[in-house]
Structure 1
Amino acid sequence: MLSCPLVTIAMGSFLLFTLTHTSQAEQPVYAELVKLNDRSPSASTADSHGFQMRTLDNIVSTNRLRYCIRTYAYCCHLLLAHSRHCDHMYIHTDDGSLNGTFSSPNHPKPYPSNLQCIYTFIAKANYRVKLVFNSFLLSGSSAKCEDYIDVYSMLEKPDIDLLSQPLSGRYCATASPNTVISLHNVVVIVFHVREKSRGAKGFSGVYSFIPDLMYAVGTQMSPQKCHFVIYSSQKAKGIIYSPTYPGKYPFNIRCVYRLIGEPHQRIRLEFEDFDVYFGGDHCPYDSLTVYDGDSYHAPIVQKVCGLQQSLELFSEAENLYLEFVSNNQMSSEHRGFKIAYEFSQRFVSIDQLNGGQFGITHLRGTECDLRVQSSKENEHVIMSPNYPQSYPSTTCTYILDGLQGAQDLEKVLIHFETLQVTSNSKDCEDAYVAIFLNGQDWKTEIPDAKFCSANVATLPDTLESLNPRMTVVLRTSNNSNDRGFKAVVKFETDFGIPGTPASDSNECTFHFNSLSEKEGTFNSPRYPENYPVDTVCIYWLNGKIGERVRIYFDQFVLAPSFSKIDRCADRLELYNVFSNNRETLLGKYCAENYPGPILSAENANRIRAIFIADAKHTATGFRAHYQFIPQKNINALSERSNCAARIVGSISGTIVTPNFPQRYVKDMVCHWEIRVRIGYRILLQPVVLNVEGMMGDDGKSSNCRSAVIRIKNDSSEYSKEFCGEKVVPGIRQFISAKNIMHISFLTHPEKVNGLSGFNFSWTEFTMDEKCNSPDLFRCNFSKYCISSKVRCNDLIDCGEGDNSDELHCKVQEKEEDRTVLTVGITATVVVVTILIVILISVKRHQRMKRAQKRLSNRIHLNVNRLAEHTQVL
């Protein structure tokens, strides 16, 4: 029979298993027990220790066999060769050492292959085992473990079957365990080395046996459960440790700590060290939950996981209930926690802090933090703890929240009646009252203002928040003479409009004054959030005498009206306001009309804007820029663009944008005035329209954000404005009421795309029935009486749908053309005849001269011959 011993802790009195094998095919393998110093199997020894023999078939799934038995022969070879020589036991006795060292075989030289070594550490009652690894290097890598150690730190006794117990961790390569502390008094390490291992230096460490008194905080309710009760009457201060702190805490454990104080006491928890697996924001796996009472039915103060630093929690009253749960089996090497607790009556009294005021609540878990909530336009009083007495060395936060909802938006105003906080520096570094006007996180952000006794003279009478939340932070020093502060908090409706409110009331009226700023912005209530329904806001844009007001918009989105009767339920109305307070309508804009650039009328140094929202629908609203511009600067803009003219004494003409048909530019202010004879009216029609923007096909909706044309009869009448490239209904012609018409063209002062602009024709006309003189022409359909001089000028001067002034112009042109042709032909014939006569005369003259010359030559020849004959004779 082949004997194969294997060491394990699944035994008592330090016994070893041996595996007895007779025949692989026929006989079972028996597990027998032998004494530690006995090298041969002995059934009687096993009987004397009360262990029952078990066949291999019953324990094939146990740790021992799973670790080592691949085949029966190999297991026996492994055990006979190595295992019995590398097992170690470290037992805590009354007269033994409390600490020592342990290491892998041959350390620091490479360990041999084919090993399974078991290290068993047993402390006596009321003690625990602590292991610290000094060096760790095993063959393999963290991605692929070849040789490794298994650690069991949750064993209740040394003779328990390992396979029935949870594995605390497996480690290989260079990833050594952090500090290991037993949950009870036993730790087992199993070192596994494969058959063909390359070997490495292995590991070494220090073990110690430590009292478990630090873990038994308060009174343990059950020896088998991690449940403790801490009474302030027994210990007012102390430390609560997680079960195996600072070692890796066990998984699948639940611990409860009940802290029971006396009436009027509060409890402070200070998290000195906290390292618990972080599984998400709501800590779904491992966590410590703090309940503000004596059971888990109480309100939760906080559920904590992850890494925490400088966390401090306070109870509302005298009891707390702490529950630690670890469910995550992959908790890695997390230490757990170390939490200091203290029962005391010196902590701030909650009742004294809020003064019993409705709307003021203590922030659970803090010592003195308060939240003050508005109940709509009301007031509260807040004070430092123990006011008017000192409360040294503390920090309190006051969160002041105005209403914020679909219909409500408030701002916070605070007035300090008293502020006495002494700092050791002029900059109020160590003691102060800090103000955060945006309600930002005071722990990470810089305050907007900070006050203490050194600079209290600079404290404004009232501080106003920039949104619905303001945060006030009080930090006191150890000065016992400080009184702290007392302040009045007031909540007011906040329309989110940057101007100056007309009064202290919650009326939505704001002023924007040239004396304060020459330009700025104004917007709908709560922009860019949706404006509230059933709202009226008034904006006064107040320029100085001699100034005009220019407005242009960044955004304009109003709720559409679904009523056929009132298409402009939500709207913005603009009025010119003159120095004598006379008002004229400048424009009216609703969801279908995006306003173009706007300029108040000449001599109107103010604009009154009224925003009206009905009770049904809402939208983003608008945001606009305003500028106060002197009239002389307006004139300069027009002169620079060469587009200001006053047309008087003409019967017709055209008006074009500067440089037409070239592109117009930004920041243009153009104005034309046409004035005709009294008793006549003006007809204006677009010939070319090429202005950026868009008009609806019905002519009622428009978006003229960057450039706009406005037509009005006189300075007191509402303008018709339009843009785009299509001549839609409503802008095909314009007729003055009397003999004056104004045309203006404005472009955005910052940016335009620039198109070719426009070309308008105009003519004067009358409806006089007497239109029969030769210099007048009666239009067939419109019945306008126009000057006959504008007939046949390729322009429709009779108005929309009437082209009678351009009829029969082709026949007249043909007759005139025939006359011209006849005259031309006649003139040509005369000129040609004259040229022929001249040419004939010239030719005749030349022939006569040639004849005379020939005759002269003959005479001379005859004379010469006569002379020669005379000489001969």
Structure 2
Amino acid sequence: MTACGGNLTSEHGSFTSPGYPNSYPVNAECVWLINTSPGNRAQLSFQMFDLENNCAEDYVEVRRDNATGPLMGEYCGNTIPSNLTAGHVLWVKFRSSDAGTAGGFVADYSLCECRGQLSLHGNELFGASGQVASPLYPHPFFHDGTYNWRITVQFGKAITISFKDFYLPTFFTDTCFYSLKIYDGYDNTAPTMLERCGLQPPDPVTSSANIVYISLDFNLVRTGIWFLLEWQEVDKQGTSTGMMNPSQSSGTLLTLESYRHTYKEPDPLRYIRPEWVVRRGDKLTIIMFLSLVPGCGGSFSFTEDFNVTSYNLTSPGYPLGYENNLNCEWLIQTPPGFHLQLVFNDVDLEAFEQCDSSDYIQVFSGDNGKPDFKSVGTFCMRNATQAPPVTTTNIMKVVFHSDIFMNKTGFSATVVPVCGGLLFGPSGYIDIMNKTALRPNSWSFYFQCQWNITVRTGRTIAITFEEFKVLSTDTTLCQQSSVVLRNGGSSDSPPLGNGKYCGTTIPVVNQTTGNKLFVKYTGSRNSLGFKLRYQEVSLDCGGRINLTPEMSSVNISSPRYPNIPNTNSECEWIIMAPGGERIHADFIDRFDFAYTYGCTKEYVELFDGGSQSAKLLGHYCSQKPSSILTTGNMLSVHYFTETTDPHNGFLANIAIATCGGTLRGWIGTLTSPSYPGSYPTNQDCTWLIEGVLGHYLTITFQEIKIISMFDCSGDYIEILENFDYNNT
């Protein structure tokens, strides 16, 4: 798209500064609106960026929502901005003054879940009200997958969800092969409030707490699907017993058969209150109501100054006893660089040894900032107080469940932050400066913390110490206090730099050779600590290449070619030709990859555009492909290996397309340039045809119309046979 401004609503695409690939004009002003459906996100990335250096003259401005929305960035010069993602609408403005021009920019946008990138469908939503819609609403959505949204309102409130539009057709009565689910909690481990498909909008539902999780599980349907819902923060409602009104149709629904299986009770109606049983169709259904009892769940975050160093949680009513039919959920977080430990002070529940029925406490560990949780333990017996501390990442979820039968006094537990943990992402920090409040009295004179840092495969890690006061009486051996750095993911990895550091002089350390770093801190009561920042760094491969008439071709290769590349290498090239031209890619010399099923461990892939969100031209790891031709003037090449035994890789020639190329395989077709139209003058095209080893090649002309001259001295086709053994 080359027009100046406009509304962009397709799933993905590109736009450029006016006149691109030529310099943009003076006194230009363009505004683009990138629109997605409510509750979803749009992403903007720049593939090429070259404006004048003065942002008062020429600039690109990006805001959320509209011209008066929050500013996300203002950019000029030739540094490519980072990717930008926002909910619902991105507003982009380009402005040039009358003082001069430059090369301009190329931007890609996406409203979809693109291959190899973060899903833009789904979102983290906050505030007192809002909307959530199916991706690309009001248009039908056809891409199968699972898409999730999480809504959070003010603590102590609840959320009411009502539907304005709903179309998830099903073709079998009472059978949902795909559905929209709403969970009463942080993720899909929480109780289910609603699971629905069909054409009839569901009745409104209300949560028991301030967080709900929405999941769309969808397989391809010819007609597509769509929905629109509204959410509103409301006051919590419920009786003094903490039970919800059955007429609200909320809660976890169990048929009598499911109840008998879950609770090992042959005759559950002996214990069920009449108001807990509803009739749905021809089946009696028990509603396991969500709790609104005070003290049943909550959330807590330790701050970076750690003015509070522990968090106590108890079952509602402890130690006087808890109510029946509770489903309580606590969410505890600590800053990155720390993890959480839970210790039980008292456990007195109505329980059985397996802890899979009756009353229990279950602890989950967050996936290092991601919304996925993994169970790390289920507890119900008194001996839980004798167990080692339950350790999670920097996010912990604790769930307490009680059934409808007997109860006891309950439980009490304490959660504390502990230094060390797992760190992911392209950048981050470890800050252990002056964290003396976190040292328990039971610690000895020395204490230890360790971190494992992992960035994306194919990147390395650059380290910068911002503060360093690791005091030791022996600064040579660093026996009292030290920071140990290892060039890898464990304490057994090779040292990074000197390997061990102490004192007050800020260390200068080389970057790692891989995508992992191990850090171990041994501190004493006299040591103040350190602050370290890390940043992911790309390997010395890939980059941006501009083809011109003067430099019409280049060769690119896997790292260290023809030698074997480093393990866990990844490179991306963005190649651009002048406007109106196409790009020709031809793999030459060796093509050697470690084969895995589906080409998942080591491969090269090419995309018909300036990013990996463009159309895939090919994904290769075994057979050397034929020549590849783009439809436009941009090509993206992505090389990846994560195998422990990488092979030599590839060498490719990338050129402005003329004619000719390489054809490989059992069968193929080639034509003169512009066929079936007349071929242009002054052409010199060469094709190399490589068949299957051990077979002959047969060439058949379907049509031939060439200007004939004596002895073919004018226009001609020449066929030469090439034998490997003498290269003739």
Settle same-fold status: TM greater than 0.5. Answer: no
- TM-score bracket, shorter-length normalisation: under 0.3
Q: Which has the higher contact order (CA 8 A, sep 6+)?
A: 2
TM-score, scaled to structure 1: 0.23
TM-score, scaled to structure 2: 0.26
Which protein is richer in strand relative to its size?
2
